[in-house]
Amino acid sequence: MTTTETVHDRIGTARDELTTGQLLAVFAFVAALTFVLLFLQEPLAHDSMHNFRHAVGVTCH
Amino acid sequence: MLVDYLERGVLAGVIAGLAYGLYMALVANPLLGYMETVAEGGEHGDHASAGEHAHAAGEHAHEAGEHAHAVSEATTAAVSIGGGVLWGILLGGVFALAFYFLEPALPGRGRVKTYVLAGAGFLAVSLAPWLVLPPTTPGAEQAFDPTFRSALYAGMMAVGAVVAAGSIYGYRRVSARSRPIGVVTAAVPIVALVAITAVAAPTIVEIGAMPAELVAAFRGITVLSQAALWALVAGCFGWLQTRAGVRPAAERRDDLLTSP
């Protein structure tokens, strides 16, 4: 490992270590969890997470 | 290496999430329950005028008393605590992914980098959106529909990320010559964001019948709890990195320079 790494080096290392599918799976999981916790407006989910969303300060209702 | 970072980030997120879940259980749930009661009381006392106001303004008014809960209060409390834990895990995972890719570009040495990224995350995820959509309290009246507000919140997260990136970039460019000027340069995009939103952003959240002091206290505790969550994620992640023997590039370079 070099001592003068750059962001490009890190991206290259990630590409070498993981397949595109694995990287996409990680980002899809993050996106799904973000959507459910912050933006899902389905009434049951919304009401269940009502206090959480108020406490986190995300837009609600 | 990315997987190692992600593993430590999720573990840091579990620790921070459990702490935040505890905060949800002991502080947020009881406080919001009390505020729902206050909102319902205020609404019953002033229902007609509040309703007329919302109707006249063409706004969507969420009023606690009108809101038919689809689930029991116990379910809301339990899921909200679970949501708090998941929120910590999500932030920990996202933090680790971002830290893995951005570590070489972050200013500072050692664990300072983790706190810089946590600050940037706090700005992007919470502070920037709150400049337009401040944390809402039960009984608050809000303009626009939820879909638009969600899009606005997401858009402000992107704006916050750009501002944080600009701030860090500015600091890195200037701090080599003068650290104080670097700090001032880093502050410019943040101050500009605050000034522009203060002048240009419409008032979206009206607090309704809730006492202003209670709203201020709720918003203060919301800001502090989110800041503490980010600090805990960064602190635990840094500790786990040190424990795993990961050393910052600057330290490795110093070793190479000083070793014979």
Is residue A61 situated within a structural domain?
A: no
From CA B67, how far away is CA B28, in angstroms rounded?
20
Residue B27 confidence (pLDDT) = 96
Is residue A35 situated within a structural domain?
A: yes
Residue A2's pLDDT band (cuts 50, 70, 90): very low
Is residue B176 situated within a structural domain?
A: no
Is residue A34 situated within a structural domain?
A: yes
Distances (CA, A) of B21 to A21, A39, A55, A57, B184: 32, 20, 11, 15, 37
Tell me: pLDDT of B115 over 50: yes
Higher pLDDT, A30 or B206: A30
Highest mean pLDDT among A19-28, B81-90, B106-115 belongs to B81-90
Instruction: Write out chain A residues lying below 8 Å of B256, CB-based.
Output: 3
Is residue A22 situated within a structural domain?
A: yes
Is residue B171 situated within a structural domain?
A: no
Instruction: Write out chain A residues lying below 8 Å of B76, CB-based.
Output: 47-51
Tell me: pLDDT of B212 over 80: yes
Q: What is the mean pLDDT of chain B?
A: 86
Is residue A23 situated within a structural domain?
A: yes
Is residue B200 situated within a structural domain?
A: no
Residue B45 confidence (pLDDT) = 54
Backbone angles phi, psi at B101, to 5 degrees: -75, -35
| CA-closest candidate to residue A31, choices B154, B126, B8 | B154
Is residue B241 situated within a structural domain?
A: yes
User: What is the chain A residue with the closest CA to B146?
Assistant: A61
Instruction: Write out chain A residues lying below 8 Å of B131, CB-based.
Output: none
DSSP structure string for A26-53 = HHHHHHHHHIIIII---HHHHHHTHHHH
Residue B60 confidence (pLDDT) = 43
B142/chain A closest Cα distance in angstroms: 9
Tell me: pLDDT of B69 over 80: no
Region B224-234 average pLDDT:
97
Domain span holding position A27 = 7-56
Tell me: pLDDT of B63 over 70: no
Is residue A1 situated within a structural domain?
A: no
What is the enclosing helix (H) or strand (E) of B9?
helix B2-23
Is residue B126 situated within a structural domain?
A: yes
Task: Give rounded-to-5 percent helix, strand, coil for chain B.
Answer: 80, 0, 20
Count: domains in chain A = 1
Asked if A44's CB is within 8 angstroms of B70's CB, the reply is yes
- Percent of chain B having pLDDT more than 70? 84
Count: domains in chain B = 1
Beta strands in chain B (DSSP E): 60-61, 141-142, 205-206
Residue B65 confidence (pLDDT) = 44
Q: Which two tokens stand for residue B259?
A: 């070793």
Region B11-29 average pLDDT:
96
Residue B54 confidence (pLDDT) = 42
Q: Which two tokens stand for residue B216?
A: 């201020």
What ipTM score was computed for the predicted complex, to two decimals? 0.89
The residue assigned the tokens 């002048």 is B199
Is residue B169 situated within a structural domain?
A: no
Q: Of A25-34, B23-32, B63-72, B242-251, which range is least confident?
A: B63-72
| CA-closest candidate to residue B217, choices B39, B64, B32 | B32
From CA A30, how far away is CA A43, in angstroms rounded?
22
User: What is the chain B residue with the closest CA to A60?
Assistant: B146
Residues B146-189 have pLDDT tens digits of 888 888 999 999 999 999 999 999 999 998 888 999 999 999 99
Domain span holding position B55 = 2-143+206-258
Residues A3-61 have pLDDT tens digits of 578 999 999 999 898 888 998 999 999 999 998 888 888 888 888 999 999 999 986 66
Higher pLDDT, B251 or B63: B251
Residues B117-157 have pLDDT tens digits of 999 999 999 999 999 999 988 888 888 888 888 889 999 99
